[in-house]
Structure 1
Amino acid sequence: MNVRRLIPAAALTGAVALGAGALTACSGATAAGGAKDGKLDVVASFYPLQFLAEQIGGDHVAVSTLTKPGVEPHDLEITPKQTAQLGEADVVLYLKTLQPAVDKAVEQAGVENTVDAASLTKLVHHDLAGEDEHGSGAEHGSEDEHGHEHGEAGDDPHVWLDPVKYAEIAKGFGATLEKADPAHAADYKKNTADLVGKLTALDTEFKDGLKNRTTDTFITTHSAFGYLAERYGLDQEGISGVDPEAEPSPARMKELQALAKKDNVTTVFFETLASDKTAKTLAADTGLKTDVLDPLEGITDKSQGADYVEVMRSNLKNLQKALGSK
Structure 2
Amino acid sequence: MNVRRLIPAAALAGAVALGATALTACSGAGATGSKDGKLGVTASFYPMQFLAEQIGKDHVKVDVLTKPGVEPHDLEITPRQTAQLGEADVVLYLKSLQPAVDKAVAQSGVKNVVDAATLTPLEAHAASGHGEEGHAHQDGDEHAGEAEGDDHGEAGTDPHVWLDPAKYAEIAKGVGAALEKADPNNAADYRKNTDELVGKLTALDTEFKDGLKNTASRTFITTHSAFGYLAERYGLDQEGISGVDPESEPSPARMKELQEVAKKENVSTVFFETLASDKTAKVLATDTGLKTDVLDPLEGITDKSQGADYFEVMRSNLKNLQKALGSK
Same fold (TM over 0.5): yes
Kindly indicate whether residue 32 of structure 2 is the aligned counterpart of residue 35 of structure 1.
no
1:279-318 to structure 2, matched below 5 A, reads 279-318=281-320
2:272–2:278 Cα contact (<8 Å) kept: yes
Spell out, residue by residue over 1:73-112, the C-alpha distance to the aligned partner (whole angstroms, 9 max, x if none): 0000001221112100000000000000000000000111
Q: Return the alpha-carbon distance in structure 1 between the equivalents of residues 243 and 259 of structure 2.
A: 16
Aligned-partner Cα distance in 1 for 2:253–2:129: 10
Where in structure 2 are the equivalents of 1:120-199 lying within 5 Å?
120-128=119-127, 132=131, 151-152=149-150, 153=152, 154-199=156-201
> Percent of aligned positions with the same letter in both sequences?
78
Please state how far the C-alpha of 1:127 moved relative to its aligned partner: 1.5
How do 1:1-326 and structure 2 match up within 5 A? 1=16, 2-3=18-19, 4-6=22-24, 7-8=26-27, 13=32, 16=33, 34-36=34-36, 38-128=37-127, 132=131, 151-152=149-150, 153=152, 154-326=156-328
Alpha-carbon displacement from aligned partner over 1:102-142 (angstroms, at most 9, x marks no partner): 00000000111000000000000002357518979xxxxxx
Q: Which amino acid aligns with 1:256?
A: L
Q: Deviations along 1:233-255, whole A, 9 cap, x unmatched?
A: 00000001111101110000000
CA distance in 2, matches of 1:241, 1:128: 7
Give the whole-Å Cα distance in 2 for the aligned partners of 1:128 and 1:235: 9
What is the CA RMSD across the aligned residues, in angstroms? 1.8
**2:30 and 2:183 in contact (8 A); partners too:** no
SS in structure 2 opposite 1:35?
coil
Contact 1:134 1:237 (8 Å CA) reproduced: no
CA–CA separation in structure 1 for the residues paired with 2:173 and 2:216: 35
Q: When the two structures are superposed, what TM-score results if normalisation uses the length of structure 2?
A: 0.86
Q: Which 10-residue stretch deviates more, 174-183 or 299-308?
A: 174-183
8 Å Cα contact 1:163-1:202 kept in structure 2: yes
Q: Does structure 1 retain, via aligned residues, the 8 Å contact 2:165–2:201?
A: yes
Deviation at 1:206, TM superposition (A): 0.3
Q: Which amino acid counterpart does residue 113 of structure 2 have in structure 1?
A: T
Verify the 8 A CA contact 1:130 1:252 in the aligned structure 2: no
Shift of 1:8: 3.9
* Structure 1 Cα separation of the partners of residues 84 and 191 of structure 2: 29
Shift of 1:12: 5.8
User: 1:65 is matched by which residue type in structure 2?
Assistant: V
SS in 2 for 1:230: helix
5+ residue gaps, structure 1, are 17-33, 137-149
1:15-53 Cα distance to aligned partner (Å, 9 max, x none):
x4xxxxxxxxxxxxxxxxx232x2100000000010011
Relative to structure 1, is the Cα distance of residues 84 and 131 closer, same or farther in structure 2, using a 3 angstrom cutoff? farther
Deviations 1:185-223 (A, max 9, x none): 110000000000110000000000012100100000000
The answer to whether the Cα contact below 8 Å between 2:23 and 2:178 also exists between their aligned partners in 1 is no
Amino acid in the other structure paired with 1:282: L
Structure 2, unaligned runs of 5 or more: 1-15, 136-147
Offset, 1:5: 3.8
**Distance in 1 of aligned mates of 2:317 and 2:230:** 11
Alignment check: 8 A CA contact 1:296 1:311 kept: yes
Aligned to 1:140: none
C-alpha contact 1:9 1:40 (8 A) present in aligned 2: no
| Farther-moved stretch of structure 1 (288-297 vs 237-246) | 237-246
Cα contact 1:9–1:39 (8 A) shared by 2: no
Matched residue of 1:215: which SS?
Answer: coil
